[in-house]
Every structure is written in C-alpha cells, then in structure tokens.
Structure 1
Amino acid sequence: MASRTMHFATAGSALAVAVFAAWWLQRPAPASPDTAARPTAAAASGGQAKPASVETAAVQQRDLAQTVQAVGSLRSRRSVVLRPEISGRIVKLGFSDGQRVHKGALLVQLDDQLPRAQVAQAQAELSIARANDKRNRELVAQGFVSQRALDESAASVQVAQAKLALAEATAARLRILAPFDGIAGIGQLSVGEYIKDGADIVNIEDMDTMLVDFRLPERYQSLVRVGQSVALALDALPGAQFTAEVRALDPQIDANGRSLAVRASLANPALRLRPGMFARVSLELARRSGALVVPEEAIVPQSEGAIVFKLVAAADGSSVAQRVPVVLGLRGDGFVEVTQGLAVGDVVVTAGQQRLQKDATRVRVADAAARPAERAASR
C-alpha cells in the first residue's frame, strides 16, 4: 500500500514539473523599456497599412475607330474558261497568249464543213417548201386543191425552217467567240488538234475592275454596309496601299464557320493587280468622335461585367482606389471606349490592380507621368 502511494506521488510531481516547463517556454517575453516606449509602425501611420504601388492614366477624349482585319483573295470582275460544246478539230486560233481580246471576236474555229453542208441542204429544203406552199395557196384560191393540202404545205415550211435553225445552231457552236472584253490566258492547244466537248481551251479575264472576297465573323454583320471603304495590302506589292469599296454582302451566314462573306471592288487601270493575289483587308466598321477612352490595361473583367479602379480623394487628402463598373464601347489602338461610369479627367489604375483587394485601398502612384493626374484627383 505504501509503495502504491509513493508511485502516485511521484507521477503527480512529474506532471506538475511538465506543466510548469510548458508555461515557461511559451510565456510572452517581457517588454523592454525601449520597446514599450517605441510605437508600432501601424500606430504611427494611424493604424493603416502601407499604400499599394500602382500605375495610372487619365480618362481622355479622342476620335476612335473600330476596325476589323481579315484576309482575302483577288479575282477578276468577270472570268471564264472557254470550252467547246461539240467535239471537233481546230482549224483556226484567233488569239495569242496574254493578248487583249474584244467581245465577239473569233477565238477558236473548229472544222465546220459538215455543218455548213447541212445548213445549205436545209436552206434548199426550205426554198422548196415555201414554193410548194405558195403554189398551194394559189390553187386553193382557184378551188383546184383542198384546204388539207394547203395545211400540209404550211407545215412542211415550218419543218424546213426548224431544220435550218438546227443546222445553223450546230455550225455556230463550232465558232467560239469572246464573251466580253478581257485578256486571254495561256492556251494549251494548237491548230489541227482534235478536242472533245468540255475540254479547256483558254481562260479570259476582265481585269479592269478587280474583286476581293473575304469573310468576317457573324457578330459584325450589323456593322458592315455596302459602300464602306476597305483598305488593302498585298504581299505581292509590298508598301503599296489600295482602297476598295464594299459591293455586296452574302445574305446567308456560313453555318460551318459562322462567318459573313463580303465582296469589295476596286479599279485596276494599270493592271498591277492580278487574280489570285493574297490580300490583307482592313475594314473600318464604326468611328466615334470625342469618345471617352482608357488604356486597355485599365479594364478588369469580372463575372458580372467590366470594372476599373478609379482614384478618389480620401478624407485625409490621400488617394484611394474605388471600384467602378463601366460599360465598354469601341476598341482601337490600345484604347477602349467607356460609355458609362467615367468622366473626362478621372484617373484609373492601369497596373497593380492585383494589390487592390477592396474599395478605399490607399495607393501610391509609381509612374511619375501620372502623378500630376493623381494630385488633380485628390483636390
């Protein structure tokens, strides 16, 4: 019994020593007289944290244009590849490679001996049919032949006329004419060569006026209009600038790419432009005079919309940052139009927004160029 009592007494003493040691190690250090007399930095600054360093810019008024960039290809105003409708042997070529041709000029003549003979035969048959019909009309008037004979002779005239028209059409298809004024391409055929119907002969390009086709995202369809100016830059002609005009908009939006097809045209009197050239297109969709703009870096996207941090004056004369919801408009040249939320002369934060966790955060403008604006906002 005595040994058990001794055991509990020893355990209790050890526990008391451990508790005292833990308190001794964790106790706060006593403040020295110097430390107690020296105020903390936060107390010296009125209990406020160190100002956040930011960069700022003032809201400006300027003319702003919204432009969209695209790529396209040049094409001739009119372009056609000549192909024969009937097989035959070439007996004449009326053009040279790259030559300017005029509408109606004979470009290719196929062998038409047989069709011309058929035309002559049809003409003879028509003459006979007309003579018989004339004779029957005279005899009917005298009562020597029946009306039926006259009807048959009149039908024979119509049949002969149809045969003649068919023979003439067949002969005409062996003459391939220029459909419009243009420039002939490089042909691949020679006189004496037999070609089948549908074979390529030569292409004709009307290059006095050029077209440029390009596509824009469907969200711009309400801003594109016929008559707008289009600036063109061509890789094949570096440094040269051309201006085209929107001529047509495709009424249907491409369901695959969700894009709008646009066609513009421009004059090409010197024939510097050629079909197939790659073009870089710049189209001005809208222009605003005296728009309120801020640098793009000032805009902070949020789930509920865009905001900016505007510098306002605090009660003690310092500058603090305040969240301001804004409504955006046009974009261009690194600036964004603000249609609601700001006024001319307001100063907004352009860098350091991540340091502004809440409204009324004290700030220090880091960029010297913006400090005058900060002082103006503080007054």
Structure 2
Amino acid sequence: MIKRFIIAIIALAVIGGGIVGFNLFRAKMIAQFLAAMNSAAFPVTVTEVVPGTWAPGIEAIGTANAAQGSDLSTEASGIVREIRFAANDTVEQGQLLVQIDDRQERADLEAARATEDLAQITLRRARNLQQRGVQATSTLDSAEAEAVSARSTVAKLEAVLSMKQLNAPFAGTIGIPRVEVGQFVSAGTVYATLQDRSKMRVDFSLSEQQAALVKGGMAVTVIGEEDGTQVAGSIIGIDPKIDPNSRLVNLRAILPEANGHLTPGQFLRVRVHLPEEKDVIALPQTVVASSLYGDSVYVVREETPEGSDTAHLVARQVFVQLGRRSAGMIEITSGLKAGDKVVNAGQNRLSSGAPVTITTDAAATAN
C-alpha cells in the first residue's frame, strides 16, 4: 500500500514538473519571438535644419491717414451762394469749391478803389506843386498818407473777398458736402473733407523697448485687414517723448506706393523690418511641442540596436530653447545643429526611440 502511494506521488511530481517546464519553455520562446520581431515604423515627414537668414520684425496696429488731408472749414460767415463740387469729385489745388455771398464786400471794394484812385491823383498833384515850390511839405505828407490808407483799405477788402471764396488748398478727393445753398454759415463751419489718397501714411505705436530698436528710414509693410492689400513704406518720424500713461511711443511711416489702395482711417497691420541676421536656425512653429517639462522637437536619427548589424531610423525627443517668432517661424537658440532632420508631420504618434520611415507624402503621416 505504501509502495503504491509513493509511486503515485512520484508520478504526480513528474507530471507537474513537465507542465511547469513546458510553460517556462513556451514563455521563453514567445519572448524570443517578440524580441526578434521589428516594431512597425511610423511614416513621418522631416525638415532639415539649415542655418539661414533671419528677417526679424516688429508687429503693430496702425491707422491709415492721407499724407495731405483735412476737414475744410469756412473762414468767414455768410450765406452760401454756390457749391461747386459733388461728393467724391477729384479737385485740383486752388479750385473754387464754395462761394459765400459777397455782394456787400464787392460794393465796398469798388468804393475803396475809387477812393484809392482819388488819393493817387491828389498825391501826384501835391508832388507837382511841391516841385514848383508853391505848396507846403505838410500837404504832400498828408497826400502820401491818404494814398497809403486807401491802398490798405483796398487790400483789406480784397482779403475779405478771398475769404468768401473757399478754394481747395491741395489736390485730392473731396467728400460729401456738409452745407447747402442758402444756408447761413459762421466762421469755422466744416463744409467737406479733402483727402489726397495718392500719398498715404500710417500712424502706430510701439512699446518703449520695441521703439528703441527702430530708426528713421527703416522699411515697413502694412496689410489691410479686409482685403489683405500690402503696401511698402518707410519710417519718417519717431516721437521723442514716451506717453507717460500708456508707456508707448508714436511713430509714422510714409506709404508712397499706396496709389489709392488705402482709405484714410483704415485699420492696418504694420510690420517694421529690422536688419537681417545670418546663420540663424529657424523652423516652422508647428514642429515644436510644449509641455510642463519644456519645449521639444523630434529628431530622426540613424541608430544600430545592440547585437544587430543593421541601422534603423528612430525618432528621439530633443529639448530646445526658443527665441523670436516671425511669420510662422520660430528661432531655435540651442538644442539643434545644422543637418538635423526634425519631424514636421506625424509627431503626435511618436515617443522617444520609436522607429520611423521618412516619407514625402504628408497624407501618409495622418494614417
């Protein structure tokens, strides 16, 4: 009985050991099989790091203004007798725009001219008599004073008449009339706006730190917000004073190539072009990933696994230091070198050390 019990125990031990040994053997073989398998490589597109020219700039918001533009107002009061322009007319410098009733002033001028003529005749007679010695010097002096007074009166009335005629101070496009024929206007009444849209300027502001980088003559580019119109210009003025309330500096740029493409008062985006810099590494902003640990990119490198003779492409996460941003590009100040291949599409599926293949098909990186 004891002998059979012992034989049963030995049989059970052999069977149990065989099962355990088989499981260990199977686990080892599975591990070896998985180790021998190559992980699927992720398709990515890359940008090669090439130091180039960096064109830095300063972005601002500005307002378009005509190089010559003003609201025209009357110099004298009176009844509007005639309006010689319509809205959006192109007028020439000196063109008569509005005539204010000047009948009384013209009558006064005729009387003053008659008085001047009489004063001149009296003066000539006094000089002739003085030369013949039959008239006192004081009489000649009085005649000369009367002649001067008469000329002054004529000149004064001519000036008053000129103020009744409202002429264009410069050529440009005139706006909607703000007065009507028969309306009484007082001095200072605005009757229209006149804008020379052939030459425009833009006024904008920068922080005192940014303004310190700007000098007169620097190139600028303005972009219209609505239609994307781009016009080039240059800085012509920088205020020597910083606004104590906003801490901003006012600047002005001339836009000689506007050619009527901009409207006074229009909202504009302004870019001031700073001097170019050489050998700067700049990449598209989309290649950079930011996290709590810092800013990083994925760089494709060729590596040979330990125990293998075949090199493979893998993506390695590299932390970088960022600099300035401009026109969708970002400056990399450290972490990369010339020749590095930086992943620019497909990096959302990567982890450091993941195998990759380089492709030129951007659509493949999204699958």
TM above 0.5, one fold? yes
Q: Which of 195, 203, 207 is matched with 2:197 structurally?
A: 207
Offset of residue 65 of structure 1: 2.4
Structure 1 residues 97 and 293, CA, compared in 2 at 3 Å: closer, same or farther?
closer
Structure 1 residues 190 and 346, CA, compared in 2 at 3 Å: closer, same or farther?
closer
Counterpart contact for 1:64–1:331, Cα < 8 Å: no
Offset of residue 292 of structure 1: 4.9
Q: Provide the residue aligned with 2:93 in structure 1.
A: 103
Give the alignment's TM-score, normalised by structure 1: 0.64
| Correspondences of 1:341-356 after superposition (within 5 Å) | none
For residues 295 and 329 of structure 1, the distance between their equivalents in structure 2, rounded to whole angstroms, comes to: 13
Counterpart contact for 1:64–1:330, Cα < 8 Å: no
Counterpart contact for 1:293–1:335, Cα < 8 Å: yes
Q: Which of 88, 94, 101 is matched with 2:84 structurally?
A: 94
For residues 140 and 294 of structure 1, the distance between their equivalents in structure 2, rounded to whole angstroms, comes to: 96
Structure 1 residues 142 and 242, CA, compared in 2 at 3 Å: closer, same or farther?
closer
Q: What residue identity is the alignment partner of 1:78?
A: Q
Q: Which of 187, 212, 229 is matched with 1:197 structurally?
A: 187
Aligned length: 283
Structure 1 residues 151 and 368, CA, compared in 2 at 3 Å: closer, same or farther?
farther
Structure 1 residues 233 and 294, CA, compared in 2 at 3 Å: closer, same or farther?
closer
Q: What residue identity is the alignment partner of 1:285?
A: L
For residues 75 and 278 of structure 1, the distance between their equivalents in structure 2, rounded to whole angstroms, comes to: 10
For residues 162 and 240 of structure 1, the distance between their equivalents in structure 2, rounded to whole angstroms, comes to: 55
Offset of residue 88 of structure 1: 0.5
1:275 aligns with 2:270: no
Counterpart contact for 2:126–2:135, Cα < 8 Å: yes
Offset of residue 229 of structure 1: 2.6
Offset of residue 243 of structure 1: 2.5
Counterpart contact for 2:229–2:261, Cα < 8 Å: no
Counterpart contact for 2:71–2:192, Cα < 8 Å: yes
Runs of at least 5 residues in structure 2 that lack an aligned partner in the other structure: 1-46, 297-305, 307-318, 342-350, 357-367
Q: Provide the residue aligned with 2:236 in structure 1.
A: 247
Offset of residue 187 of structure 1: 0.7
Q: What residue identity is the alignment partner of 1:335?
A: I
Q: Provide the residue aligned with 2:161 in structure 1.
A: 171
Counterpart contact for 2:80–2:184, Cα < 8 Å: yes
Q: Provide the residue aligned with 1:31 in structure 2.
A: none
Q: Secondary structure at the match of 2:212?
A: coil
Give the alignment's TM-score, normalised by structure 2: 0.66
Structure 1 residues 284 and 298, CA, compared in 2 at 3 Å: closer, same or farther?
farther
Structure 1 residues 129 and 368, CA, compared in 2 at 3 Å: closer, same or farther?
farther
Q: Secondary structure at the match of 2:66?
A: strand
Counterpart contact for 1:331–1:337, Cα < 8 Å: no
Offset of residue 256 of structure 1: 2.0
Offset of residue 367 of structure 1: 6.2
For residues 110 and 98 of structure 1, the distance between their equivalents in structure 2, rounded to whole angstroms, comes to: 22
For residues 164 and 261 of structure 1, the distance between their equivalents in structure 2, rounded to whole angstroms, comes to: 47
Structure 1 residues 298 and 93, CA, compared in 2 at 3 Å: closer, same or farther?
closer
| Correspondences of 1:296-335 after superposition (within 5 Å) | 331-332=325-326, 333=328, 335=330
Runs of at least 5 residues in structure 1 that lack an aligned partner in the other structure: 1-56, 301-307, 309-316, 318-322, 348-363, 370-379
For residues 342 and 184 of structure 1, the distance between their equivalents in structure 2, rounded to whole angstroms, comes to: 58
CA RMSD of aligned residues (A): 3.8
1:287 aligns with 2:276: yes
Q: Secondary structure at the match of 1:201?
A: strand
Structure 1 residues 334 and 205, CA, compared in 2 at 3 Å: closer, same or farther?
closer
Q: Which of 159, 162, 175 is matched with 2:152 structurally?
A: 162
Offset of residue 134 of structure 1: 1.1
Structure 1 residues 298 and 59, CA, compared in 2 at 3 Å: closer, same or farther?
farther
Structure 1 residues 236 and 331, CA, compared in 2 at 3 Å: closer, same or farther?
closer
For residues 293 and 107 of structure 1, the distance between their equivalents in structure 2, rounded to whole angstroms, comes to: 57
Structure 1 residues 197 and 63, CA, compared in 2 at 3 Å: closer, same or farther?
same
